[in-house]
Structure 1
Amino acid sequence: MPVSKAYRPDPRHPSLGGEFYDVVAPADFPEATLRFRNDRWAARVGLDTLTDEEWVRHFARFEPLPGNIAQPLALRYHGHQFRSYNPDLGDGRGFLFAQMRDAADGRLLDLGTKGSGRTPWSRTADGRLTLKGGVREILATEMLEAQGVYTSKTFSLIETGEDLVRHDEPSPTRSAVMVRLSHSHVRIGTFQRLAALEQQADIKRLVDYCIEHYWSQAADAPDPVAAFFTLAVEAIARMGADWWVAGFVHGVLNTDNTTITGESFDYGPWRFLPTLDPAFTAAYFDHSGLYAFGRQAPALFWNCERLAGCLLDLSTQAELVKGLEAFQPAFWSRLEARTHAKLGLVPGAGARELVQDFYEALSKSQLPYERAFFDLVGGAMPERIAASPHRDAYAGEHWSGIMPRLRAGQPSSSAAAALAHPYFGGSAPCTILIDEMEATWAPIAENDDWFMLHRKIADIRDQGAALAPLFEPGGQGFIPQY
């Protein structure tokens, strides 16, 4: 198989040992029709030179990549699901397929699957993924990437020719297998399983692995375990702040869906906010609103507390409490920086108050969430406000106190570059609300017409190109994009 020089296989997870995974075989699908390949990220890991036929062999038939993991590994973990501990988890419809180095910065990256067949952890499920579920994940990851959020990337989607029965969408429905590119698949739930089984030596082995491959800054600290924990807590807090600025609701913030790298991943019933509503939920089964938009940061903090409990025998309670205390400052620092960055402003005196008042005005006025950033970028310029269909709302009581402060703010050096992009000369921002998601899916379901999806991806990437200067490296709002 010809691969580019950028391809650097580095299968590290197998070194942890069989206690951390089960060797499994992929499903034998009746069909394999390539629907999406992410060539811009394939180029980053040296796999863009694959022909479509080779792509299908590797990402539907799961022929091993050269020099990589020889057999797929279904990872073992436990987790709290809606605050109830579940020891019967693990990769039930996915596995770790390959690991490699990022050609740009050398980070260790995973290729993991979703819908690749049954494993020892499938319980009564079929190990499959609906095609619609795969399309939804493409849209979620593309939109979050455009918004500068540190997220997994949907790498491949291949339709597999099976009819699936699901209770939450019309059945039978079409099937698919998806591959994601992620920085890590080590979850808080990975630690929880080892703690529940009282495998302290394995917890130490996993901590060492995480420090070596993800948080090397912790290696030389007086207490490397506490340093690793603090770095993970801060990263998870920043993820929560990034979701707020993007108006994103994950939906299912269980501990098995929270990684130690603070990378957003595993998209089920996600939503983007139509308007700012702290009680807005994504999952129809979240009856109590546990993971509502306004409760995501507390949920993530609760998950961090569970990780702390797994590390008590390797550090001290005092040091782990210090790690937990880093959550709120990291969240607020990121929220201030990211909000200013997306508004194209330099944080100045009273930065936190401006952020708080901005979101209060956004909530009270119920302006469309993404529209407000689109209109106000660069400091609420009069010409942009005049061009908005919500111009009257900006002149109303909810915005009267903050508009002068936005206009008095110092535009960032990147605001002009962002505004020069044709995206900001358009009539409306790019969004992917639930109705738009369904409208994108409908032509596929009804006529096998993929035009709307590809157009939506193009629109989202265009938005990402426009927003990129606001989150450029070295800027206050920057998040590394692997």
Structure 2
Amino acid sequence: MPLSPDYRPVPRFALLGDEYGDAVEAAKFPETILRFRNDRAAATVGLDTLTDDEWIAHFGRFDPLPGQPGPVAMRYHGHQFRTYNPDLGDGRGFLAAQLRERAQAASGRVASDSAEGRLLDLGTKGSGTTPWSRTADGRLTLKGGVREVLAAEMLEALGVPTSRAFSLIETGEALERGDEPSPTRSAVLVRLSHSHIRFGTFQRAAYFRRADMVETLVEHARALYHPEVAAGDVPGFLTAVVEASARLTARWVAAGFVHGVLNTDNLNVTGESFDYGPWRFLPSYEPGFTAAYFDQTGLYAFARQPEAVFWALTQLGGALKLVADAQPLTDALNGFGPAYIRHLRAAFLNRLGVKSLGEAADQRLLDSTLALLREGGEAMRWEPLFFDWFTGFASSARALSGPRAALYQSKTFADFRFALFDHEPDRPERLEAPMFAASEPEEMLIDEVETIWAAIAAGDDWSVFERKVERLRAAGSAWSLQGC
């Protein structure tokens, strides 16, 4: 089948040369069973016209797409739980393709190259060993792939800048894992992401004292992802990354999301989250809530995510000191705190479906929302609060007659409602969506994730998973949160 005219290959990373990545081959899998194809995402890059057989050829066997040079395992280093690791790199994945997003698909996004469409990557997870696999098998569990699809779909629905799970293909291998019942089923995942240039990509170049490589990476990332920054303006580039990272972190917090592993190789220059291993959504407000069982000190706990991202940004700034003066870089880093608070106010207004009333009033609403969530404890679940009071006054009757009406009685609630009703509803017609006639919102808590997986593991029943994806997309349409 001919590819859509919307398919536009732009393999820019390959132009950097072989010091930045290694040509690799995908594993040969015994089976390739298509479990999930994201035609909504595929349509934005002109790949929705592929037949299932063609899809499997490109995303299960990894026959190169037209105009693409073939798989490249990217080289990078990184701090893992603040310990530097120079032995990283794409160990079970590779960059499979780069292509332009349709310009109209980028409307409403924060992307300075949206006039011609953003440059996007198709990257893999579980596609086999590479020179950077060390002792690992280069594979992904099917459960891990299912979890990544669910995380990405939920985050997209909630307006968080996120990679999109593009394809999930079961590969017919029995994997041994120490942290889940084994043997377990295998899969290969493809994600559509706005850049895989990580903070750790710069760290690797700086580790080898390669100022020329750092300069090349800055210009590559500046021109492709932050072209509003002048050529050669390294502090300006860092400022743009700081701004994007602050916005992402604020959106995570407003979504009640815990990434789990905020190492410097898991943060990129475009401020879009990706690589969902251990992750959780908050059941209720709990600052110390962690997603990874191995995060025993709570380094990446919910409320410490801004601290973690800022620390990672300082490591990026340290790498850039090889090619720029320290003080302007420090000034750029010092912009994170104010940018984060500004974006956090905007994110909470977005979640509550109301318009800005100015910095002071917006801050009162943010503070009173967090106070109500804190006071409510386990009874005040995170997601239902935003669901109950979406668009403010317009939801008053619905919320006060709903299942959480008894929680909306205290002085803390009165302060919240006063602050909320000060703000004008933003597009209150969204309440006409069928979702708001229900008593409960769509959530993505761990018990439901396990239920979805149990149906697949026990009886190969994918219907529960498929219905959840459908409901998440309907919820995203109902919320219509701006700026995802």
Q: TM-score, normalised by structure 2?
A: 0.95
Structure-2 residue corresponding to 1:94: 93
Offset at residue 17 of structure 1 (A): 0.9
Counterparts of 1:128 and 1:176, CA distance in 2: 7
Structure 1 SS opposite 2:166: strand
Q: Is the 8 A contact 2:59 2:167 kept in 1?
A: yes
Q: Pick which of 27-36 and 417-426 moved more.
A: 417-426
The one-letter code of the counterpart of 1:379 is: G
Deviations 1:227-280 (A, max 9, x none): 111000110111100000100000000000000110010000100000011100
Offset at residue 386 of structure 1 (A): 2.2
Out of 442, 452, 464, the residue aligned to residue 452 of structure 1 is 464
Say if 2:311 is the partner of 1:312: no
The one-letter code of the counterpart of 1:202 is: M
Counterparts of 2:220 and 2:46, CA distance in 1: 25
Out of 368, 390, 393, the residue aligned to residue 381 of structure 2 is 368
Where in structure 2 are the equivalents of 1:34-49 lying within 5 Å? 34-49=34-49
Structure-2 residue corresponding to 1:161: 172
Structure-1 residue corresponding to 2:77: 78
Offset at residue 425 of structure 1 (A): 1.4
Where in structure 2 are the equivalents of 1:60-79 lying within 5 Å? 60-69=60-69, 71-79=70-78
Out of 270, 292, 295, the residue aligned to residue 286 of structure 1 is 295
Structure-1 residue corresponding to 2:412: 398
The one-letter code of the counterpart of 1:444 is: I
Deviations 1:287-315 (A, max 9, x none): 00000000000000000000000111322
Out of 277, 283, 297, the residue aligned to residue 274 of structure 1 is 283
Structure 2 SS opposite 1:143: helix
Structure-1 residue corresponding to 2:158: 147
Q: Pick which of 114-123 and 384-393 moved more.
A: 384-393
Offset at residue 24 of structure 1 (A): 0.7
Counterparts of 1:331 and 1:309, CA distance in 2: 21
Out of 430, 433, 455, the residue aligned to residue 443 of structure 1 is 455
Structure-2 residue corresponding to 1:110: 121
Counterparts of 1:386 and 1:215, CA distance in 2: 46
Say if 2:217 is the partner of 1:217: no
Q: Is the 8 A contact 1:77 1:90 kept in 2?
A: yes
Deviations 1:302-351 (A, max 9, x none): 00000000111322211111111111111111111111122121222421
Structure 2 SS opposite 1:80: strand
The one-letter code of the counterpart of 1:324 is: L
Structure 1 SS opposite 2:165: strand
Where in structure 2 are the equivalents of 1:196-275 lying within 5 Å? 196-219=207-230, 224-275=233-284
Offset at residue 160 of structure 1 (A): 0.2
Offset at residue 390 of structure 1 (A): 1.2
Structure-1 residue corresponding to 2:391: 378
Structure-1 residue corresponding to 2:109: none
Q: Is the 8 A contact 1:279 1:293 kept in 2?
A: yes
Q: Which structure 1 segments of 5+ residues have no match?
A: 472-477
Counterparts of 2:6 and 2:396, CA distance in 1: 47
Matched residue count = 467
Counterparts of 1:353 and 1:294, CA distance in 2: 19
The one-letter code of the counterpart of 2:54 is: E
The one-letter code of the counterpart of 1:327 is: F
Deviations 1:15-58 (A, max 9, x none): 11111001111100000000000001111111111100010000
Offset at residue 148 of structure 1 (A): 0.7
Counterparts of 1:464 and 1:204, CA distance in 2: 40
Offset at residue 399 of structure 1 (A): 1.5
Say if 2:310 is the partner of 1:301: yes
Offset at residue 400 of structure 1 (A): 2.9
CA RMSD of aligned residues (A): 1.1
Q: Is the 8 A contact 1:79 1:193 kept in 2?
A: yes
Q: Is the 8 A contact 1:274 1:369 kept in 2?
A: yes
Counterparts of 1:152 and 1:233, CA distance in 2: 19
Structure-1 residue corresponding to 2:133: 122
Structure 1 SS opposite 2:19: helix
Q: Is the 8 A contact 1:27 1:116 kept in 2?
A: yes
Counterparts of 1:21 and 1:72, CA distance in 2: 10
Say if 2:57 is the partner of 1:57: yes
Structure-1 residue corresponding to 2:437: 425
Structure-2 residue corresponding to 1:475: none
Q: Is the 8 A contact 2:209 2:322 kept in 1?
A: no
Where in structure 2 are the equivalents of 1:176-195 lying within 5 Å? 176-195=187-206
Q: Pick which of 393-402 and 80-89 moved more.
A: 393-402
The one-letter code of the counterpart of 2:305 is: Q
Q: TM-score, normalised by structure 1?
A: 0.95
Structure-2 residue corresponding to 1:330: 339
Q: Is the 8 A contact 1:365 1:398 kept in 2?
A: no
Deviations 1:32-87 (A, max 9, x none): 00000000111111111110001000001100001112x21000000000000001
The one-letter code of the counterpart of 1:440 is: I
Q: Which structure 2 segments of 5+ residues have no match?
A: 104-113
Out of 342, 351, 355, the residue aligned to residue 346 of structure 1 is 355
The one-letter code of the counterpart of 2:159 is: G
